[in-house]
Amino acid sequence: MKIIVALMGLALSVSAWAQSYPNRAVKVVVPWPPGQATDIAARVVAEKLQGVLGQPFVVENRPGAGGSLGSDVVAKSAPDGYTLLAASSGPVSIMPNLQGTPYSPLRDFAPVSLICMTPFALVANPSFPAKDAKEFIAELKANPGKYTFASSGTGATAHLFAELFLSMAGVQARHVPYKGSAPALTDVINGNVNFAVETVAATQTHIKSGKLKAYGVTTARRTGAMPELAPLAEAGNLPGYDAAAWIGYVAPAGTPRELMARVAGEMQKLLATEELKARLVTLGLDARSSTPEEMGEFMKREQERYGSIIKSQNIKVEQ
């Protein structure tokens, strides 16, 4: 009986603690420089959380090592709810599969909530001889190895999404890696490389100006930023092709679930508002929230999927 009473008392104290959280500033570590997509999305949500939870959500940029430096800082922080990581596909889902990290994403982080998905688009130089996605695939199938595609770097999200597209379409093309999306797209626009699979955020201006020809988006549903572009799964007859980068909040492993559920609950409400959804759309992002449990399952699936692509395509980076 005493044990039951003690457990009930503990549950009540944890619940009261969660209700009073936060009672001081919360630090949000962004493992990228200011102005990058993860930084912008994290700041948009931090600003709103500050308003509803009544304490500052202070964003701190800790860039370096492809996002792993700042991520490792959070992995080794106290699990008290006062340090969060603006997590994303690269350092959490891809890098551990590709070259290893000082942290284990599924062991060292406690999921909080997703913030948004980053859709990509298949784009080509306007001179590419295909009117639509089905013709694009047919052209590559008729000319194996003739065409080239650019990416922001070997093992980057853009590279993996392109490899997944080529594999599912049963076609071949030669990869030309660059140091960033901007130079990759510049060479596609200039005709030095034939096509790329890059973020809608990075390509939409060029698509609208006619500098790039778009064949569809990588997500299973149309994106708010460019609703006129059909999913490649539909436009290219590739059932199951559904790929998007992600951004969300995680905390150090061991952070009380009640605290994370409190933050996640507020994030779900905020990300359901038309104001925040519209703000993210202007950045080429689609709002998406989750419970901590849903995000945990999502992170597991994403790590397995990227691992599968990297292994099947034998993708390696120089250490």
Number of domains in the chain: 2
Q: Is 185:203 a contact under the CB 8 Å cutoff?
A: yes
Give the rounded distance of the alpha carbon of 140 from its chain centre. 28
What CATH number does residue 284 fall under? 3.40.190.150
Tell whether 109 and 127 lie within a shared domain: no
Dist CA 214 CA 130 (whole Å) = 11
Residue 4 lies in a domain: no
Q: How many CB atoms lie within 10 A of CB 66?
A: 20
Tell whether 255 and 220 lie within a shared domain: no
Residue 10 lies in a domain: no
Domain of 261, in residue numbers: 23-116+246-312
Tell whether 149 and 214 lie within a shared domain: yes
Residue 55 lies in a domain: yes
Tell whether 133 and 178 lie within a shared domain: yes
Helix (H, G, I), strand (E, B) or coil at 148: strand
Q: Is 176:149 a contact under the CB 8 Å cutoff?
A: yes
Residue 85 lies in a domain: yes
Of 181, 206, 235, the one marking the end of a domain is: 235
Residues 6+ apart with CB under 8 A from 86: 28, 29, 30, 31, 32, 38, 39, 41, 42, 59, 247, 248, 249
Tell whether 107 and 256 lie within a shared domain: yes
Tell whether 80 and 177 lie within a shared domain: no
Tell whether 251 and 106 lie within a shared domain: yes
29 burial class (0-12, 13-18, 19+ CB within 10 angstroms)?
Answer: buried
Tell whether 219 and 125 lie within a shared domain: yes
Tell whether 111 and 255 lie within a shared domain: yes
Residuewise pLDDT in 10s, the chain (319 residues): 555 544 444 444 455 556 789 999 999 999 999 999 999 999 999 999 999 999 999 999 999 999 999 999 999 999 999 999 999 999 999 999 998 899 999 999 999 999 999 999 999 999 999 999 999 999 999 999 999 999 999 999 999 999 999 999 999 999 999 999 999 999 999 999 999 999 999 999 999 999 999 999 999 999 999 999 999 999 999 999 999 999 999 999 999 999 999 999 999 999 999 999 999 999 999 999 999 999 999 999 999 999 999 999 999 886 5
Q: Is 54:24 a contact under the CB 8 Å cutoff?
A: no
Tell whether 112 and 250 lie within a shared domain: yes
